[in-house]
Amino acid sequence: MSLPTRGRIAYQGEPGANSHIVCRRHYPDWEAVACASFEDVFAAVEGGDADLAMIPIDNSLAGRVADIHHFLPGSSLHIVAEHFLRIQFALMALPGATTQSLRTVHSHVHALGQCRKVIRQLGLTPVISGDTAGAAREVAESGDLTQAAISPPLAAETYGLEVLATDVEDEDHNTTRFVVLSREYVEAERDAGPVVTSFIFNVRNLPAALYKALGGFATNGVNMTKLESYMVGGHFTATQFLAEVDGHPLDLPVARALEELAFFTTEVKVLGVYPADPFRSA
């Protein structure tokens, strides 16, 4: 089975958000559907209102997106692709505003924290908004030349704002990894290029269970690129792990490692087998 060539792809945030940018870049023929929350995104795909979901899962500065790690294990959706986006922020305001006229700057709390230098340089008072694109919309609706927003460049185009400064982020390596989710399980071909396999597992409550569970990946030479843990059902003795490895489950080393993993776990669930984004090798 292969993915459809067009349809509806849901994302969290308002038009002009970074998730919207990734949708337009990699799925230009698809209708991008804005959702208020991650829960709404999952519900849209699971309920058939959208065909795919574009979800941020990790950021090079902020780490994992905690909500996603909460939703993934219980979801019926499957990971079918990944994309990386270099995060770029612009300082934008209403036409006619200048950096001298500005007094406040609006954005998501994480974006404000990632753009401290320009905020301090211009002597602006930060104001927290729900998300970066929403901040641009709020400034556009305010009619106030003293307000600015720190938002993705697409937000300026979307809400009719002027960009006063580009690339205002403090670090030039700020990158977010997105995964694409589908109702259908679509597995990457084995020999069509580098592949990532994502899965979750619960270890048995035994001494050295995690050590033994992961031993098969080491002895079979399988590179594990992610291992995240979180509690299950509020129990301190029940821990679930999200893991990712390089390779396809049909590759003999990966197959042997997964087989060994099963001996020391109560559950193993493959979330997706999908092409590795070229960003990984770059």
Q: Are 93 and 146 in contact (CB under 8 A)?
A: no
Name the strand (E) or helix (H) holding 40. helix 38-46
Question: DSSP letters of 252-270?
Answer: HHHHHHHHHHHHTEEEEEE
Alpha-carbon distance 30 to 10, whole Å? Answer: 10
> Is 158 a residue of the active site?
no
Query: What does 149-186 look like in DSSP terms, one character per residue?
Result: EEE-HHHHHHHTPEEEES---S-TT-EEEEEEEESS--
Residue 142's CB is within 10 A of a number of other CB atoms, namely 15
**Active site annotation includes 266:** no
Q: Could you say which of 38, 42, 89, 178 is catalytic? A: 178
Q: Name the token pair of 177.
A: 């990894």
CB burial string 207-222: b at 16+ within 10 A, e below: eebbebbbebbeebeb
Question: Catalytic one among 176, 197, 217, 241?
Answer: 176
* Catalytic residue annotation: 176, 178
